[in-house]
Structure 1
Amino acid sequence: MNLIGLNTSDLESHLKERGEAAFRGRQIADWIYKKGAADFSEMKNLSGALREKLVAEDSLDFARISKRTVAGDGTTKLLLEMEDGERIETVRLPYPDRLSVCVSSQAGCAMACQFCATGLGGFRRNLSTAEIIGQILQVKREGLQKETPTHVVFMGMGEPLLNTNNVFRTVELMHDEMGIPMRNITVSTVGILSGIEKLAQKKWQLTLAVSLHAPEDALRHELIPTSRKTSVNDIIETSKNYVAQTGRRVTFEYVVLGGVNDSPKLARELARLCKGWPCHVNLIPWNDVPGAQFAGVKPEALREFRATLERAGISVTQRVQRGADVAAACGQLRALNEPTTREGIIPLSVA
């Protein structure tokens, strides 16, 4: 059995079934999640006989690092190969005061966002709990001191709220086993209403980030063709309900595309939607993606868009670009064995 993805209680039960003391399960959990052990031989407080038994009957299966690419700013992109040959990407983001990791929840993505590299390759499958938590453990072992990441964002490949069982279990493992505070965990979604509702019921104090990208239905449906059954108003109302149930504000991610969704008119409409309730807007200048037919936003247009929101009293920030020189920035993740173009790109109207 692969022990990655099991919590302390699971491991205690597993060891008891093997005729071992339950506390051995706690020791193994500590080695996996806190100390970053990659092999049973590292678990020195276990008896030699137990370690041999674990080697014979169990495993610590991690995705293989196929390629490691380091950007000029220290950002590291890991290309990971799963047991079945699927590839995903994970990003390690070191800062002076924290260590963040951007994890993938699916191999590929079915959302088909027109400006996102992951969507260009389509959807293949959900990742298991072991494959998701394994990304964080791989990042932990990348550090010289095997330091535990302080912040985790589900903003890699895939739609997290279309894989709720495994994503939610990973959140529990990060919090309960690795000690990562809920407030340091961000779950991003393109606007899966049923998933937002499930997340709200958990009442976790994490951050919900909704990829809005346009405040009007027609333009949003062009940018995200799979969102046609979901209106912007539906997203706003579901987000307000999330705030009511959790007490946590919602962040709206807004990838700014030059000449598409960066007009003052759209900024005013976005401000109207956000006025009067606890939410935040995170502006993300578009990062170049081969095969996507867009241009970056002009600095003056971005400044005016942000200023319009600020004048309306909306909380707003602009994401600092990290890892763009190795295609590790927002919207650029795509396993290297995927195609770089997709047929049927929908023509976009000018904002």
Structure 2
Amino acid sequence: MGDGHVVDLKAFSEVQLAAFFKTLKEPAFRAKQFLLRVYTKKAVSIDDITEFSLPLREHLKGISFISSLQTVKRLESTDGTRKYLFALTDGQTVESVLIEDDERLTLCVSSQVGCAMGCRFCLTATGGFKRNLKAHEICDQILSVSRDIEPERKITNIVLMGMGEPLSNYEEVTHALKIMTGWLNISKRRITLSTAGLVPELERLYSDGFRVNPAISLNATTDDLRSIIMPVNRKYNLKTLLSACRRLPIPERRRITFEYVLLKGVNDSPDDAVRLVKLLKGIRAKVNLIPFNEFDGANYKRPSDAAVLEFQEIVAQGHISVFIRKSKGRDILAACGQLKAGY
């Protein structure tokens, strides 16, 4: 830092920013002024940081910059869902999805460019893994969409369910969570983090104090099947994953969400539903059933509405809260499992 190279100020942590300003013989509180202006007041350029003197701003423009995502394309579904394609500074692209549901406005953000998990029902997995997103690139998705919709609307909920496995990018994702719950003033109760089941990182998340809402991508009731459609199960099987879920210090009035993508003739039978009830016994659980969202080249089919309703009924009879997820944005490939940063 401060070695003559042009640096991205947004890429620094608060501690690193304070050290950077120290090299300029500026007080450490400049870091807080910068973060307040960038994340709370959504500044996009050094000129916007009016807390800094004009000479300081002019000097900073010669040695640094503030990065931001470039909106390559924005698509809007017939149901009002919006999908954004963002370009990063290195030319890679990611997608975010804005979903309106009654009073809630939920933004689904990405944590990686691509994904290495290899889940066979997910379009993102077909593109392979490119790289992790930095914390500011994760949060920039929130800032960019906020600029697009404000002042008329405000994002109410964040779900880390976009491209990538959040827990395999642990350090940057947790740094992003600190920014969200701090400078962006988003309640941890309104943030959900989805994982395919990286058990050590899931347990670490809670031991490190990040009490956001967990969502576990389950999708099968036997190890044999889950290992086929979700390779992560070969390392952390159902028993290991669900034992970890039972140990999580979930607040009394909250539950763990289990996501279950229903694949026709694969995991949607009444026997599967019965096994799911048994697997979740003793866990304060909520189940989201997601009828498979088809895409070109997919190896699976969407089950019939009757099969989905029968599955839901069996799980409900097991005294588990179970909902059928509305798959919004399917016509623009913005539904669950359909993101792939390109058109």
TM-score by length of 2: 0.92
2:112 aligned with 1:106: yes
Task: Please report the RMSD computed on the Cα atoms of aligned residues, expressed in angstroms.
Answer: 2.1
Residue in 2 that maps onto 1:223: 229
Query: 2-side partners of 1:285 and 1:150: how far apart?
Result: 25
Q: SS at 1:205's partner residue? A: coil
Query: 1-side partners of 2:152 and 2:42: how far apart?
Result: 7
Q: 1:5 Cα deviation (Å)?
A: 4.5
| CA displacement, residues 241-267 of structure 1 (integer Å, 9 cap, x when unaligned) | 124699853211101112211111000
Query: 2-side partners of 1:148 and 1:23: how far apart?
Result: 29
Q: 1:272 Cα deviation (Å)?
A: 0.7
| CA displacement, residues 2-30 of structure 1 (integer Å, 9 cap, x when unaligned) | 22244555544433432234443322212
Query: 2-side partners of 1:224 and 1:9: how far apart?
Result: 39
Query: 1-side partners of 2:58 and 2:155: how far apart?
Result: 30
Residue in 2 that maps onto 1:344: none
Query: 1-side partners of 2:79 and 2:23: how far apart?
Result: 48
- CA 99–53 in structure 1, closer or farther in 2 if over 3 Å, else same: farther
Query: 1-side partners of 2:301 and 2:314: how far apart?
Result: 22
Q: SS at 1:210's partner residue? A: strand
Q: Which moved more, 1:296-305 or 1:15-24?
A: 15-24
Residue 140 of structure 1 contacts residue 148 of structure 1 at CA under 8 Å; is this kept in 2? yes
Query: 1-side partners of 2:77 and 2:12: how far apart?
Result: 33
Residue in 2 that maps onto 1:141: 147
2:215 aligned with 1:212: no
- CA 20–40 in structure 1, closer or farther in 2 if over 3 Å, else same: same
Counterparts in 2 of 1:183-222, with a 5 A limit?
183-222=189-228
User: Could you tell me which of 15, 20, 30 is aligned with 1:14?
Assistant: 20
- CA 89–20 in structure 1, closer or farther in 2 if over 3 Å, else same: same
Residue in 1 that maps onto 2:280: 274
Residue in 1 that maps onto 2:97: 91
| CA displacement, residues 18-57 of structure 1 (integer Å, 9 cap, x when unaligned) | 2234443322212211111111222334322222222222
| CA displacement, residues 158-178 of structure 1 (integer Å, 9 cap, x when unaligned) | 111111000011001100111
What is the aligned-residue identity percentage? 38
State the one-letter code of the partner of 1:73.
D
Residue in 2 that maps onto 1:314: 320
- CA 7–147 in structure 1, closer or farther in 2 if over 3 Å, else same: farther
User: Could you tell me which of 327, 332, 335 is aligned with 2:333?
Assistant: 327
- CA 247–53 in structure 1, closer or farther in 2 if over 3 Å, else same: farther
- CA 29–248 in structure 1, closer or farther in 2 if over 3 Å, else same: same
Residue in 2 that maps onto 1:118: 124
- CA 186–126 in structure 1, closer or farther in 2 if over 3 Å, else same: same
State the one-letter code of the partner of 1:157.
M
TM-score by length of 1: 0.90
| CA displacement, residues 100-143 of structure 1 (integer Å, 9 cap, x when unaligned) | 21111111111111111001111121111122122122112112
Q: 1:145 Cα deviation (Å)?
A: 2.0
Q: SS at 1:56's partner residue? A: helix
Residue 227 of structure 2 contacts residue 233 of structure 2 at CA under 8 Å; is this kept in 1? yes
Residue in 1 that maps onto 2:246: 240
- CA 319–12 in structure 1, closer or farther in 2 if over 3 Å, else same: same
Q: Which moved more, 1:179-188 or 1:29-38?
A: 29-38
Query: 1-side partners of 2:208 and 2:321: how far apart?
Result: 26
- CA 155–242 in structure 1, closer or farther in 2 if over 3 Å, else same: same
State the one-letter code of the partner of 2:300.
F
2:62 aligned with 1:56: yes
Counterparts in 2 of 1:37-76, with a 5 A limit?
37-76=43-82
Q: 1:146 Cα deviation (Å)?
A: 8.4
Query: 1-side partners of 2:252 and 2:24: how far apart?
Result: 41
Query: 2-side partners of 1:47 and 1:175: how far apart?
Result: 29
Query: 2-side partners of 1:243 and 1:10: how far apart?
Result: 32
Query: 1-side partners of 2:335 and 2:249: how far apart?
Result: 28
State the one-letter code of the partner of 1:262.
D
Q: SS at 1:4's partner residue? A: helix
Residue 8 of structure 1 contacts residue 177 of structure 1 at CA under 8 Å; is this kept in 2? no
Which runs of 5 or more structure 1 residues have no equivalent in the other structure?
338-351
Query: 1-side partners of 2:62 and 2:269: how far apart?
Result: 62
Q: SS at 1:25's partner residue? A: helix
Residue 197 of structure 2 contacts residue 232 of structure 2 at CA under 8 Å; is this kept in 1? no
Query: 1-side partners of 2:99 and 2:56: how far apart?
Result: 37
2:187 aligned with 1:181: yes
Residue 243 of structure 1 contacts residue 250 of structure 1 at CA under 8 Å; is this kept in 2? no
State the one-letter code of the partner of 1:82.
L
Q: Which moved more, 1:63-72 or 1:249-258?
A: 63-72
Which runs of 5 or more structure 2 residues have no equivalent in the other structure?
1-6
User: Could you tell me which of 284, 288, 292 is aligned with 1:286?
Assistant: 292
State the one-letter code of the partner of 2:209.
K
Q: Which moved more, 1:2-11 or 1:125-134?
A: 2-11
Residue in 1 that maps onto 2:4: none
Q: SS at 1:113's partner residue? A: coil
Residue in 2 that maps onto 1:345: none
